[in-house]
Chains A and B, each alone.
Chain A
Amino acid sequence: MMKFLFMMIFMIPLCFMKNMFWLVQMMLFFMMFLFMNLNLNIMCFFNMSYMFYCDIISFGLILLSIWICSLMIMASESLFKLNFYFNFFLFNVIFLLIMLYLTFSVLNLLLFYFFFEASLIPTLLLIIGWGYQPERIQAGMYLLFYTLFGSLPLLMGIVYIFNDLNTMTIYFLKFFNMNMYLLYISMIFAFLVKMPMYFVHLWLPKAHVEAPVSGSMILAGIMLKLGGYGLLRVMIFLQEVNLKLNYIWIIISLVGGLFISMKCFCQVDMKSLIAYSSVAHMSMVIGGIMVMNYWGFIGSYILMISHGLCSSGMFCLANINYERLHSRSLYINSGMMNFMPSMSLWWFLLLSSNMAAPPSLNLLGEISLINSLVSWSNISMILLMMISFFSAGYSLYLYSYIQHGKYFQGLYSFYVGSSREYLLLFLHWFPLNMMILKVDFISIWF
Chain B
Amino acid sequence: MAALIKLRHMPLVQRSVWNHFNKVSRNISTSKKNSDTATTACETKTEDKNWVSYGFDYTSKEEDTNAHHATFFFSVTLCIVFGGVCWAYSPDVHMRDWAQREAFLELRRREKAGLPPISPNFIDPKLIKLPDESELCDVEIII
Contacts and interface: CB of A to CB of B under 8 A. Distances in A.
A418 B53 contact: yes
B90 A40 contact: yes
How many residues of B sit at the interface, in one of the four size bands? 20 to 34
B58 A74 contact: no
Given A434-B84, A440-B94, A36 B55 contact: no
B67 interface: yes
20 contacts: A26-B71, A26-B74, A29-B74, A30-B78, A32-B83, A33-B78, A36-B83, A36-B87, A37-B87, A41-B93, A43-B94, A56-B94, A70-B75, A77-B56, A418-B53, A420-B71, A440-B94, A444-B94, A444-B96, A446-B94
B79 interface: yes
The 6 A-B pairs at the shortest CB distance, nearest first, are namely A418-B55, A420-B55, A29-B74, A419-B54, A22-B67, A33-B78
A29 B71 CA distance: 8
A292 B72 CA distance: 42
B56 A22 contact: yes
Interface in A72-114: 74, 77, 80-81
A43 to B, nearest CB: 5
A421 interface: yes
Contact of A423 (B57, B71, B78): B71
Nearest to B70: A26
A252 interface: no
A33 B74 contact: yes
Contacts of B104: none
A44 to B, nearest CB: 9
Most A Cβ at <10 Å: residue of B58, B71, B84: B71
A25 interface: yes
A25 B67 CA distance: 10
A420 B54 contact: yes
Interface of A: 19, 22, 25-26, 29-30, 32-33, 36-37, 40-43, 56, 70, 74, 77, 80-81, 418-421, 423, 427, 430, 434, 437-438, 440-441, 444-446
A36 B79 contact: yes
Contacts of A77: 55-56
B96 A440 contact: yes
Contacts of A29: 71, 74-75, 78-79
Most B Cβ at <10 Å: residue of A80, A420, A421, A444: A420
A195 B3 CA distance: 48
Overall SS of chain B's interface = helix
B94 A438 contact: no
Most B Cβ at <10 Å: residue of A32, A33, A446: A33
B55 A421 contact: yes
Most A Cβ at <10 Å: residue of B68, B83, B93, B94: B94
B91 interface: yes
Given A41-B95, A430-B80, A445-B94, A420 B74 contact: no
A33 B83 contact: yes
Contacts of A427: 75-76, 80
B93 A420 contact: no
A419 B71 CA distance: 11
Interface of B: 53-58, 63, 67-68, 70-72, 74-76, 78-80, 82-84, 86-88, 90-96
B51 to A, nearest CB: 12
A81 B91 contact: no
A427 B58 CA distance: 22
B75 A37 contact: no
B82 A423 contact: no
Contacts of A445: 94
A77 B67 CA distance: 12
Nearest to A74: B71
A444 B94 CA distance: 9
A320 to B, nearest CB: 10
Contacts of A81: 57-58
A43 B71 CA distance: 33
A243 B114 CA distance: 39
A392 B78 CA distance: 34
Nearest to B52: A418
Nearest to B93: A440
B100 to A, nearest CB: 12
Nearest to A80: B57
Nearest to A437: B88
Contact of B86 (A32, A40, A74): A40
B135 to A, nearest CB: 13
A18 B87 CA distance: 36
Contacts of A430: 80
A156 B72 CA distance: 47
A438 B96 contact: no
Given A22-B71, A26-B71, A441 B79 contact: no
Contacts of B68: 419-420
Contacts of A80: 57
Given A26-B70, A440-B94, 20 more contacts: A19-B63, A25-B71, A29-B74, A33-B82, A37-B83, A37-B86, A37-B87, A40-B90, A41-B93, A41-B95, A43-B94, A43-B95, A418-B54, A420-B54, A421-B55, A427-B75, A427-B76, A434-B84, A440-B93, A446-B94
Most A Cβ at <10 Å: residue of B74, B90, B92: B74
A343 to B, nearest CB: 13
B78 A22 contact: no
B129 to A, nearest CB: 12
